[in-house]
Amino acid sequence: MRPVNKGTSPYEKITTYQEAEPFLNTRIGRYCSFCELPVFHVPEIEHKEGKASGGNLTEWGNLLYACKYCNTRKAQKVKAGELGNWLWPDEDNTFLAFTYFDGYPRVNEAFLKNKGYDVYQKAVLLFKGVCLDFQPQSVRDKDKRWQKRIDTLGQAERSWKAWQKIKDTEFRVDYLDTIIISAKNTGFFSVWMSVFKGDQEIKNALIDSFPGTSRDCFDQEGNPIIRKGGKI
């Protein structure tokens, strides 16, 4: 799950939370803050503390982007005062919390349990709260994010194979640009980072190219590190 840096509030006061949308777009790009699906059309404003459960409606710190599926499934699970029960992509290095082996998200149990059961539980609540590993139970289910993620995995793997042939040629710069354009169009930042986990140059290019990705969650080689001030 891509960690983001929204920065300080870009407004003193807004009257509706929908007014925050262009600021979120500029700061972190139109990607679901949880599943990483591109939400270029009809993005939803997610309230970390549920707006119907006492969460602040317009406070910058309570707002994220979400796709309709994550937003609906999370719903009012986090009530006012319960923010600390979950990990959050704008507060923690959520990239460390989950793995994407074969494009399938899983809780990074080995890492998290080493950090303490409390942190592990917060990651599990986030994972289950938005059903990050959702798989359809029927062909009639309209949620096709799993298929988009698998398609993205295939595209990333083909790009990796081509990159091995091109990276030492005169065409390397142009193809690197092609990889980044493809990644931004397909979304699923963590899938691309997983496929290119052994390539420092591509990892850093991905981190720098996805708007608002928290640079302080990665070292100079593009490897994830504990976020300063975060739970992980």
Average pLDDT over residues 185-202: 97
**Domain co-membership, 102 together with 149:** no
Q: Is residue 7 in a domain?
A: no
- Out of 100, 129, 158, a domain closes at 129
Residues 56 and 159 in one domain: no
In tens, the pLDDT along 147-175 reads: 999 999 999 999 999 999 999 999 999 99
Quick check: is 27 in a domain? yes
Average pLDDT, the chain: 95
At 68-91, the pLDDT tens digits run 999 999 999 999 999 999 999 999
In angstroms, the CA 116 to CA 160 distance is 35
Q: CB count, 10 Å around CB of 149?
A: 21
Task: State how far the Cα of 123 lies from the Cα of 96, in Å rounded to an integer.
Answer: 10
* pLDDT band at 195; cut points 50, 70, 90: very high
Q: Same structural domain for residues 39 and 119?
A: yes
Q: Look at residue 51 and tell me if it is in a domain.
A: yes
Which of 129, 162, 194 is the last residue before a domain boundary? Answer: 129
Note if the pTM is more than 0.85: yes
Please name which of 232, 212, 231, 205 lies closest in space to residue 222, comparing C-alpha atoms: 205
The confidence band for 139, taking pLDDT boundaries of 50, 70 and 90, is confident
Does 40 score more than 90 pLDDT? Answer: no
Secondary structure class of 65 (helix, strand, coil): strand
| Residues 115 and 189 placed together within one structural domain of the fold | no
Q: Which of 164, 205, 165 has the alpha carbon at shortest distance from 181?
A: 205
Residues composing the chain: 232
* Boundary of a domain, candidates 129, 164, 189: 129
- pLDDT for 220 equals 96
